[in-house]
Structure 1
Amino acid sequence: MAELQRVDPHAWHWESWLSDDDDPDDLVYEHVHVGSRSRGGSSLNPLLRLVADDVSIAVTLAPPDLRWVFRPYPGGVDVFAPSTAEHDCLKAAHPDWLSAHPRGL
């Protein structure tokens, strides 16, 4: 959490819960923080670096209306676009985001 505060000091705590997978020795508390920032330039780079370095594995980027969702994780990213056409536009505009795997996985 200290790293998140360092890269996004204006993020605020929204909710926390206990994630229990029926193993009493494997209890994990999940904490959700919300922040707002410009997506232009390199303003997201420090936050994305936390994900790439496996410091934080739960980052979701989206506009306030949740019209689209960008979910990075170490080694990749999932993009949820509002339509197939917008998905195809993103794919065409950012071919370097795609995996070298023949199926794009």
Structure 2
Amino acid sequence: MQSVLDRHHALLTALLGDRGGDLVVTVVTWPHWPLDFALLPGAGLWRLFVPEDDAGGSPAIVWAGAIRSDDLGALDPLLRQIADGRYGGAVTAPRDLAWLYHPYDGGGDVIAATLGQRAHLMSRFADWLSNHPSGQ
């Protein structure tokens, strides 16, 4: 598990560069799978998405919180749960949303600010990429 956390930290550190400040963390839950607030202390309700009457399904609840960029370890409890497949709808980003990071139980996806940043990350972390031709 520590190697998984180390990879998330390395990628987030690379995305942050030398900028500081808070990171916004959002987590999607559902009424039958509520948020454990110990995973994201200080989180509050951000959005509630209620399905149309004929669509069925449960409402999606999006919680938002913040962590300091110099304390990535504060994300570890949530990242552990994600790695174990317990939470899937989490996104981390700087407050200006210059990039987005979506960790999941098999790795993580980055929406980079620029194609140059994307290429740099792909080069820097090439040995972490999937061997599949699509990169997935």
1: CA distance between counterparts of 2:53 and 2:127?
36
C-alpha offsets along residues 37-92 of structure 1, whole Å, 9 cap, x if unaligned?
13444332221222222211110111111110111222232111011110111122
Task: Name the structure 1 match of 2:124.
Answer: 93
Task: Name the structure 1 match of 2:94.
Answer: 63
**Alignment root-mean-square deviation, CA:** 2.2
The gaps in structure 1 that reach 5 residues or longer are none
Q: Does 1:30 align with 2:60?
A: yes
The gaps in structure 2 that reach 5 residues or longer are 1-33
1: CA distance between counterparts of 2:81 and 2:62?
15
- TM-score by structure 2 length? 0.63
Give 1:20 shift.
Answer: 5.1
**Contact conserved, 2:48 with 2:62, CA < 8 A, in 1?**
yes
Give 1:2 shift.
Answer: 4.3
Aligned length: 102
Work out which of the residue numbers 37, 41, 49 in structure 2 matches 1:9.
41
SS at match of 1:46: helix
Identity of aligned residues (%): 33
